[in-house]
Chains A and B, each alone.
Chain A
Amino acid sequence: MTERVPAFDLHHPPDQALIDDCVHCGFCLPTCPTYLLWGEEMDSPRGRIYLMEIGLQGETMNDQMVSHFDRCLGCMACVTSCPSGVQYDKLIEATRQQVERRHPRSRRDRAFRALIFRLFPYPRRLRLLRGPLRLYQRTRVGTLLRRVGLLGRLPARVGAMERLLPAIGPAQRLPEVTPAAGERRRRVGMLSGCVQRVFFPEVNAATARVLAADGCEVVAPAAQRCCGALSLHAGREAEAQAFARDAIATFEAAGVDEVVVNAAGCGSAMKEYGHLLRDDPAWAERAAAFSARVRDLSELLAELGPTAERRPLPVKVAWHDACHLAHAQGVRAQPRQALAAIPGLEVREVAEGEICCGSAGIYNLTEPRPAGELGDRKAANVLATGAELLVTSNPGCLMQIRAAIERRGERLPVAHVAEVLDASIRGADPGSLLDRG
């Protein structure tokens, strides 16, 4: 009789004590995007916790079990809705790590993931793509391929990547130090990100300007690398830890009060460094202290209180809560506050706001079909607000929702909240925000 290999080994399996917090009430089901799509217990937080539990009891980690873990977006909407306080975030993180270490993936799967993780956490490599991609876009090769129907023939995942490409503009680099305007109230570090710094450099520029305007000296160390968010959320533990140590060291060296992040996924990951490095005696305390100083842009602005005048922007905007900001970090009020402070700006809530747009890190690359359905759902809800501009705080969400809107044959400009604040502070014309692709 073949022995059953239990699903988890002893290195940080999902914690039984955390699993025991689940009372099986099911309040998480209606907030879970995959349960909304498929209505199956296994693809709900309650069901996934159940799979973890039976894994701990000794059931094998087979393809089906792994598929349900893979299909979890990691959006943490369940954490928000759970009345019992189940820390699902820690459970899925531990589980994903186990999956990465112990479950043999298909060759294709492995190759695709290897590609992603050799590319996205490395801004220099991403930058190498800028030129060719820009050419690709300017010569409208993609449009031609789409029209001819060839694009649809590509494997779904590659097609997904293609559709998500933002319009590539001219290159920009953040200065190492941006001085504060007027009295210096804080000296803050700023994470420039990977996708953000390469594909949305204007967002970083706007972020630095806004912080400076409200009295922050902004330090964006040129040496900084990836924060490790994608790796952490995909269960690649060692890789994430390496990035974390790097980031901590870089920002410690910069001597800053807080570290400001303008990408929700990155901010969420950095706030978890303490947990991520808890086993490393050399880093545990440092990491915890570091995490305590991480702030989302809107958090810091709310803490400081605005000093620069917000000039009117008579625009109707729809605000999209990024999951890693609202659910994972619990930051909901501050971005709304920041937008509300802009005279003339009307902020409209998006229906089903707590449901993920489908971006979820690399989810829209590894699971393009549900990601696409969720994107469509989000796009419909966003368009239904009648807003003129979509505002969010995460590059992934931005790309995902824009792609979904375009799929419907509609157009809606999208902007990062930093860009909106920046436009307001500079007294820019609303057109600068609205007249974009």
Chain B
Amino acid sequence: MDRDALIQRFTDVVGAHGVISERNQLRTYECDGLANFRVVPSVVVLPETSEQVRSVVAACHQAGVPFVARGSGTGLSGGALPVSDGVLVVLSRMRAIVEVDLDNQRAVVEPGVLNLQVSKAVAADGFYYAPDPSSQQVCSIGGNVAENSGGAHCLKYGFTTNHVSGLEVVLPDGELVHLGGKAPDPPGYDLVGAFVGSEGTLGIATRITLRLLRKPEAVRTLMAAFEGTDHAGDAVSRIIAAGIVPAAIEMMDALAMEAAEAAVHVHYPEGAGAVLIVELDGPAAEVEHQFAEVERLCQEAGSTTIQIAADDEQRALFWKGRKSAFAAVGRISPDYYVQDGVIPRTALPEVLRRIAELAGERGLRVANVFHAGDGNLHPLVLYDGDVEGQEERAEELAAEILYACLEHGGSITGEHGVGFDKKQYMPKQFGADDLQVMQLLRCAFDPEGRCNPGKVFPTPRLCGEVPGPRRVHPVEAAGLAEVF
């Protein structure tokens, strides 16, 4: 089927207003939140129902055309980067909250629903949806499912995968299946668990059953300033050792604070080398008691100033500063690169030192923002793309930081996913057999290799192949993937 025929097919399914084929318009979709990689899709389709998604995917299947799914396009690993000559299926028009079932603590939503919208919809009844990535006001649930998104509060409450109990999925051949549901322990393989975090490579989720939580009785938040990240890290260790599980522990260093202050005016204490935001939530009696202890532990670790949020507004301000930090860094540097790596929490001081060392060696600055509670780092490598060679050095530094994470037993990604950006590092974290076995899953879902190809795995596996001499995969031959 040629492009025009495919466009006609799509138009028959979604109507002309749902198909984009003009070049300038297509170009607005050529990247997601990671603007470093751009590929113009051949066609963009915007379905509005599960049935339309099914028909679109079936058409792609018949035509032998690869496709990529996209939600709000805010991902930071290039997961929604289109495939050249491929179709981009945009789910932003499927944004209905289909059902709210508070007695079972479930909500059923379409993939284009924005993360924060779920919480807003159930707030009046005293519920909320826990996974809260910093981009929650714009990122979509479908995107969250693809990336297994976390957020600041995942230390206590877990990630998207712990809050999805059911999925309706369109498989890459156009078949529609139902995985899991509202009831616990569905018999069979945990395909919901396998699908969440699969970065859009196994199919397109068209309905998602989410778990809702009751809003806690009490929330207390403090912001503690320290001389440096070492002291702040020590405070975190003491808190964990005391058996306290805060809802969130976030750390920002001096450079990150500078950026956030420019954007949000939080009034960080002057001269602070690092700041910790610690939030506790739960039953009031428990929170009061533990909060006092956290304050004490911060002081013991040498905190210079402790601000306690007096009300919801102040609490929101603390968080706004933290959540805007990435984009706010644009104010103190012409360009920057957000890295995402994980290390065991106990390795934090050492790795931060290493990052500072590496940055110094390359003459670049790194602002650090991270989820101190679970060791998920977000070093922001600052550079000026207009200065010769700086962009390359910045990329190198970002890679070095990842290697440092791996050296300490961590992971190349805590939240943002592997996508396109990090598939080259997969062989550094996993062995060849590990990657091949993971791809068995992909072969079961997508034997033709057309669903978001070229993502996550550097070397695609030919499905159905037996051990023996390697054959070149068509995707590789087409230049969409490389062997590292």
| Direct A–B contact in the complex, CB atoms closer than 8 angstroms | yes
Q: Which residues of A contact B (CB under 8 A)?
A: 20-21, 23-27, 29-30, 38-42, 46-47, 50-51, 54, 59-60, 62, 64-65, 68, 81-85
Chain B's closest residue to A28 (CB) is: B138
Known interface pairs A47-B28, A50-B28. Does A27 touch B92 (Cβ–Cβ under 8 Å)? no
Check if B46 sits within 8 Å of A85, measured CB to CB: no
Can you report 6 residue pairs joining A to B where beta carbons are below 8 Å apart? A20-B334, A24-B32, A25-B138, A30-B138, A39-B92, A54-B27
Q: Does B390 contact A (CB under 8 A)?
A: no
Check if A39 sits within 8 Å of B95, measured CB to CB: yes
- Interchain CB contact (< 8 A) of A83 among B20, B327, B336: B327
How many angstroms from the CA of A257 to the CA of B31 in the assembled complex? 50
- Interchain CB contact (< 8 A) of A24 among B31, B46, B139, B336: B31
Check if B92 sits within 8 Å of A64, measured CB to CB: no
Check if B33 sits within 8 Å of A25, measured CB to CB: yes
How many angstroms from the CA of A46 to the CA of B33 in the assembled complex? 11
Q: What A residues does B24 contact at CB under 8 A?
A: 42, 51, 54, 59-60, 62, 64-65
Check if A25 sits within 8 Å of B326, measured CB to CB: yes
Query: Other CB < 8 Å A-B pairs besides A40-B20, A62-B22, A64-B22, 14 of them?
Result: A24-B33, A26-B138, A27-B137, A27-B327, A40-B92, A42-B20, A42-B24, A50-B27, A50-B28, A54-B27, A64-B25, A65-B24, A84-B331, A85-B263
Q: Does B379 contact A (CB under 8 A)?
A: no
Q: What A residues does B263 contact at CB under 8 A?
A: 83-85
Check if A51 sits within 8 Å of B28, measured CB to CB: yes
How many angstroms from the CA of A62 to the CA of B25 in the assembled complex? 11
Q: What B residues does A46 contact at CB under 8 A?
A: 28
Q: What B residues does A84 contact at CB under 8 A?
A: 263, 327-328, 330-331
Q: What B residues does A39 contact at CB under 8 A?
A: 46, 90, 92-93, 95, 112
How many angstroms from the CA of A103 to the CA of B139 in the assembled complex? 35
Q: What B residues does A54 contact at CB under 8 A?
A: 24, 27
How many residues of chain B have a CB within 8 Å of chain A?
A: 37
Q: Does B237 contact A (CB under 8 A)?
A: no
Q: What B residues does A50 contact at CB under 8 A?
A: 27-28
| Contact code string B15-34 (vs A, CB < 8 Å = 1, else 0) | 00000101111011101111
Check if B330 sits within 8 Å of A23, measured CB to CB: yes
Write the nearest CB–CB distance from A354 to chain B, whole angstroms: 11
Check if A26 sits within 8 Å of B72, measured CB to CB: yes
Write the nearest CB–CB distance from A210 to chain B, whole angstroms: 30
Chain B's closest residue to A31 (CB) is: B137
Q: What B residues does A85 contact at CB under 8 A?
A: 262-263, 330-331
Q: What B residues does A81 contact at CB under 8 A?
A: 137
Q: Does B135 contact A (CB under 8 A)?
A: yes
Check if A83 sits within 8 Å of B73, measured CB to CB: no
How many angstroms from the CA of A50 to the CA of B330 in the assembled complex? 17
Q: What B residues does A82 contact at CB under 8 A?
A: 327
Check if A24 sits within 8 Å of B35, measured CB to CB: yes
Q: What A residues does B138 contact at CB under 8 A?
A: 25-27, 29-30
| Contact code string B22-61 (vs A, CB < 8 Å = 1, else 0) | 1111011101111100000000001000000000000000
- Interchain CB contact (< 8 A) of B135 among A20, A27, A40: A27
Write the nearest CB–CB distance from B17 to chain A, whole angstroms: 8
How many angstroms from the CA of A41 to the CA of B28 in the assembled complex? 6
CB-based closest 6 A-B pairs: A83-B327, A39-B92, A84-B330, A83-B324, A47-B28, A26-B74
Chain B's closest residue to A65 (CB) is: B24
Q: Does B114 contact A (CB under 8 A)?
A: yes
Write the nearest CB–CB distance from B334 to chain A, whole angstroms: 7
Check if B72 sits within 8 Å of A29, measured CB to CB: yes
How many angstroms from the CA of A51 to the CA of B93 in the assembled complex? 21
Known interface pairs A25-B74, A39-B93, A84-B330. Does A30 touch B28 (Cβ–Cβ under 8 Å)? no
Q: What A residues does B46 contact at CB under 8 A?
A: 39-40
Write the nearest CB–CB distance from A246 to chain B, whole angstroms: 37
Chain A's closest residue to B74 (CB) is: A26
- Interchain CB contact (< 8 A) of A41 among B29, B33, B328: B29
| Contact code string B57-85 (vs A, CB < 8 Å = 1, else 0) | 00000000000000011100000000000
How many angstroms from the CA of A51 to the CA of B27 in the assembled complex? 8
How many angstroms from the CA of A164 to the CA of B292 in the assembled complex? 59
Check if A41 sits within 8 Å of B327, measured CB to CB: no
Write the nearest CB–CB distance from A106 to chain B, whole angstroms: 18
How many angstroms from the CA of A38 to the CA of B48 in the assembled complex? 11
Q: What B residues does A62 contact at CB under 8 A?
A: 22, 24
Q: What B residues does A83 contact at CB under 8 A?
A: 263, 324, 326-328, 330
Known interface pairs A20-B334, A21-B330. Does A42 touch B33 (Cβ–Cβ under 8 Å)? no
Q: What B residues does A59 contact at CB under 8 A?
A: 23-24, 27
How many angstroms from the CA of A82 to the CA of B93 in the assembled complex? 23
How many angstroms from the CA of A25 to the CA of B329 in the assembled complex? 12
Known interface pairs A21-B330, A23-B330. Does A42 touch B73 (Cβ–Cβ under 8 Å)? no
Write the nearest CB–CB distance from B118 to chain A, whole angstroms: 13
Chain B's closest residue to A61 (CB) is: B24
Q: What B residues does A27 contact at CB under 8 A?
A: 135, 137-138, 327
Q: What B residues does A38 contact at CB under 8 A?
A: 93
How many angstroms from the CA of A50 to the CA of B137 in the assembled complex? 21
- 8 Å CB contacts to A: which residues of B133-190? 135, 137-139
Write the nearest CB–CB distance from B336 to chain A, whole angstroms: 8
| Contact code string B105-124 (vs A, CB < 8 Å = 1, else 0) | 00000001010000000000
- 8 Å CB contacts to A: which residues of B317-372? 324, 326-328, 330-331, 334, 336
Check if B28 sits within 8 Å of A42, measured CB to CB: yes
Q: What A residues does B92 contact at CB under 8 A?
A: 39-40
How many angstroms from the CA of A29 to the CA of B34 in the assembled complex? 16
